[in-house]
Structure 1
Amino acid sequence: MTRFKVLLATLSLSVLAACASPQGSAPTLRGAVDPDFPYADTRSTYGQFLAGQAALRSGRTRDAAGFFESARVLGGDKAELAVRERAFTAVLLAGDVEAASRMAPRDAEANEAVRRLGALTRVVDLMADGKGGEARQIIKAETIGFPHRQATALLEPWIAAQVGDVAGAIAQPSLQGDRLVQYFGQLGRARLLERAGRFEEAETDYKLLTGVSAARGLFTLDYGEFLERRRRSAEAVALYDTALVQSPGDTALIRARARASVRRSPPPVVTLRQGAAQVLVATAASFMNERQSQFGLAYLRLALRLDPKRDDAWLLVGDVLAQGGDVEAAREAYGKLPPSSPRYVAAQGKLAWSLQTEGDKAAAVALAQRIAAAAPGDRDAQLTYADLLRADERWTESAAVLDPLIAAAAAAGNPDWRLLYMRGVALERAGRWPEAERDLKTALIASPDEPELLNYLGYSWVDRGENLAEALQMVQRAVAARPDSGAMLDSLGWAHYRLGDYKAALENLEKAVELEPGDPDVNDHLGDVFWRLGRKDEARFQWTRVLSLEPTATQKVLVETKLKTGLGPAGPAVATTVATIP
Structure 2
Amino acid sequence: MDKTRITRIARHAALAGVLIMPLHVAYAQDAAKPEMAPSAVQTLSGAYLAAKQARENRQPDIAAQYYDRALALDPDSEVLQQEAMFAYLADGRFDRGVALAGKLTDNADVGKVARIALGLDALRQGRFDAAIEEWQIGDTSDLDTLLLAQLASWADVGAGRTKAALARLDKLQGATWFAAFNQYQTGLIAALGNDLPRARKSLNALLDDDGSAQTSVDAYLAGAEALGRIEARAKRKPEALAAVDKGLALAPSYEPLTQLRKQIDDGKPVDAPYASARNGAAEALYILGQAINRGDGQDVALLYFQFAKAVADRPDDKLLTALAGIADRSQQVDLAISYYEQIPDGSPYRRTAELQMGLDLWQAERKPEATEHLRTAVERYPDDLQARLALADVLSADKNYGEAVEMLDKALSLAPTDSPTLWNIHYQRGIAFERLKQWEKAELDFKKALELSPDQPQVLNYLGYSWVDMNRNLDEGLEMIRTAVDLRPNDGYIIDSLGWAYYRLGRFEDAVEQLERAVLITPADPTINDHLGDAYWRVGRTREARFQWNRALAGQPAPEAADVERIKQKVANGLEAGTVPVKATAPDAAPTGDRASNDVRSSAPSQPN
Q: Same fold (TM over 0.5)?
A: yes
Quick one: distance in 2 between partners of 1:325 and 1:316? 14
Distance change >3 Å, CA 384–CA 107, structure 1 → 2 = closer
User: Residues 291-340 of structure 1, C-alpha deviation per residue, up to 9 Å, x if partnerless?
Assistant: 24443322211101222411222223233345545554433222221122
Distance change >3 Å, CA 290–CA 466, structure 1 → 2 = same
Q: 1:270 offset after TM fit, Å?
A: 1.0
State the one-letter code of the partner of 1:303: A
Q: Any conservation in 1 of the 2:323–2:339 contact (CA below 8 Å)?
A: yes
- 1:475 corresponds in structure 2 to 481
- 2:579 corresponds in structure 1 to 570
Q: Any conservation in 1 of the 2:38–2:69 contact (CA below 8 Å)?
A: no
State the one-letter code of the partner of 1:263: G
Q: Any conservation in 2 of the 1:126–1:134 contact (CA below 8 Å)?
A: yes
- 1:379 corresponds in structure 2 to 385
1:154 aligns with 2:179: no
Distance change >3 Å, CA 404–CA 498, structure 1 → 2 = same
Quick one: distance in 1 between partners of 2:242 and 2:483? 42
1:164 aligns with 2:144: no
Q: Any conservation in 2 of the 1:396–1:430 contact (CA below 8 Å)?
A: yes
- 1:490 corresponds in structure 2 to 496
Quick one: distance in 2 between partners of 1:205 and 1:90? 38
Q: 1:87 offset after TM fit, Å?
A: 4.2
Q: Any conservation in 2 of the 1:20–1:329 contact (CA below 8 Å)?
A: no
Could you say what secondary structure the match of 1:113 adopts? coil
Quick one: distance in 2 between partners of 1:311 and 1:49? 40
Quick one: distance in 1 between partners of 2:340 and 2:63? 22
Quick one: distance in 2 between partners of 1:168 and 1:192? 11
Match of 2:130 among 130, 134, 147: 134
- 1:551 corresponds in structure 2 to 559
User: Residues 442-494 of structure 1, C-alpha deviation per residue, up to 9 Å, x if partnerless?
Assistant: 11111112222222222222233322211122122222222111122122223
- 1:97 corresponds in structure 2 to 94
1:289 aligns with 2:289: no
Quick one: distance in 2 between partners of 1:150 and 1:410? 40
- 1:29 corresponds in structure 2 to none
Map of 1:5-404 to 2, 5 A cutoff? 39=39, 51=47, 54=50, 62=61, 65=64, 68=67, 79-106=76-103, 111-140=107-136, 142-143=137-138, 145-146=140-141, 148-171=144-167, 172=169, 174=172, 176-177=174-175, 179=177, 181-216=178-213, 217-218=217-218, 219-220=220-221, 221-222=224-225, 223-237=227-241, 240=244, 243-244=247-248, 247-271=251-275, 272-307=277-312, 308-324=314-330, 326-404=332-410
Q: 1:240 offset after TM fit, Å?
A: 4.7
More displaced 10-residue stretch of structure 1: 446-455 or 88-97: 88-97
Higher relative CO (Cα under 8 Å, sequence separation at least 6) belongs to 1
State the one-letter code of the partner of 1:306: V
- Alignment root-mean-square deviation, CA: 3.5
Q: Any conservation in 1 of the 2:241–2:261 contact (CA below 8 Å)?
A: yes
Quick one: distance in 2 between partners of 1:38 and 1:270? 41
Q: 1:242 offset after TM fit, Å?
A: 5.9
Q: 1:125 offset after TM fit, Å?
A: 1.4
Distance change >3 Å, CA 69–CA 227, structure 1 → 2 = same
User: Residues 492-545 of structure 1, C-alpha deviation per residue, up to 9 Å, x if partnerless?
Assistant: 223333344333333222211111112222223323333333333333333333
Quick one: distance in 1 between partners of 2:457 and 2:353? 30
Q: 1:247 offset after TM fit, Å?
A: 3.6
State the one-letter code of the partner of 1:284: G
1:537 aligns with 2:546: no
Structure 2 runs not aligned, ≥5 long:
1-20, 585-609
Distance change >3 Å, CA 107–CA 546, structure 1 → 2 = closer
Quick one: distance in 1 between partners of 2:568 and 2:104? 67
More displaced 10-residue stretch of structure 1: 130-139 or 117-126: 130-139
Q: Any conservation in 1 of the 2:450–2:456 contact (CA below 8 Å)?
A: yes
Q: 1:123 offset after TM fit, Å?
A: 1.0
Q: 1:562 offset after TM fit, Å?
A: 4.2
Quick one: distance in 2 between partners of 1:67 and 1:569? 59
Identity %: 28
Aligned positions, number: 537
Distance change >3 Å, CA 274–CA 84, structure 1 → 2 = same
Match of 1:416 among 422, 425, 449: 422
Could you say what secondary structure the match of 1:269 adopts? coil
- 1:5 corresponds in structure 2 to none
Match of 2:445 among 439, 443, 450: 439
Q: Any conservation in 2 of the 1:227–1:235 contact (CA below 8 Å)?
A: yes
Quick one: distance in 2 between partners of 1:491 and 1:226? 57
Q: 1:117 offset after TM fit, Å?
A: 0.9
Structure 1 runs not aligned, ≥5 long:
1-9, 22-36, 576-582
Q: Any conservation in 2 of the 1:234–1:260 contact (CA below 8 Å)?
A: no
- 2:18 corresponds in structure 1 to none
1:463 aligns with 2:469: yes
Quick one: distance in 2 between partners of 1:41 and 1:200? 61
Could you say what secondary structure the match of 1:337 adopts? coil
More displaced 10-residue stretch of structure 1: 120-129 or 210-219: 210-219
Q: Any conservation in 2 of the 1:105–1:115 contact (CA below 8 Å)?
A: no
Q: Any conservation in 2 of the 1:499–1:574 contact (CA below 8 Å)?
A: no
Distance change >3 Å, CA 529–CA 565, structure 1 → 2 = closer
Q: 1:53 offset after TM fit, Å?
A: 5.3
User: Residues 70-115 of structure 1, C-alpha deviation per residue, up to 9 Å, x if partnerless?
Assistant: 7657877xx233343344334323323234334314457x532322
Q: 1:144 offset after TM fit, Å?
A: 7.3
Quick one: distance in 2 between partners of 1:199 and 1:170? 13
Q: Any conservation in 1 of the 2:131–2:152 contact (CA below 8 Å)?
A: no
Match of 2:456 among 446, 450, 458: 450
Could you say what secondary structure the match of 2:110 adopts? helix
Q: Any conservation in 2 of the 1:314–1:336 contact (CA below 8 Å)?
A: yes
Quick one: distance in 2 between partners of 1:74 and 1:510? 49
User: Residues 231-253 of structure 1, C-alpha deviation per residue, up to 9 Å, x if partnerless?
Assistant: 34345445555654654443333
Q: Any conservation in 1 of the 2:384–2:414 contact (CA below 8 Å)?
A: no
Could you say what secondary structure the match of 1:428 adopts? helix
Q: Any conservation in 2 of the 1:106–1:115 contact (CA below 8 Å)?
A: no
Quick one: distance in 2 between partners of 1:417 and 1:166? 51
State the one-letter code of the partner of 1:389: L
TM-score (norm 2): 0.78
TM-score (norm 1): 0.81
Q: Any conservation in 2 of the 1:84–1:105 contact (CA below 8 Å)?
A: no
Q: 1:121 offset after TM fit, Å?
A: 0.5
- 1:521 corresponds in structure 2 to 527
Quick one: distance in 1 between partners of 2:411 and 2:486? 32
More displaced 10-residue stretch of structure 1: 116-125 or 537-546: 537-546
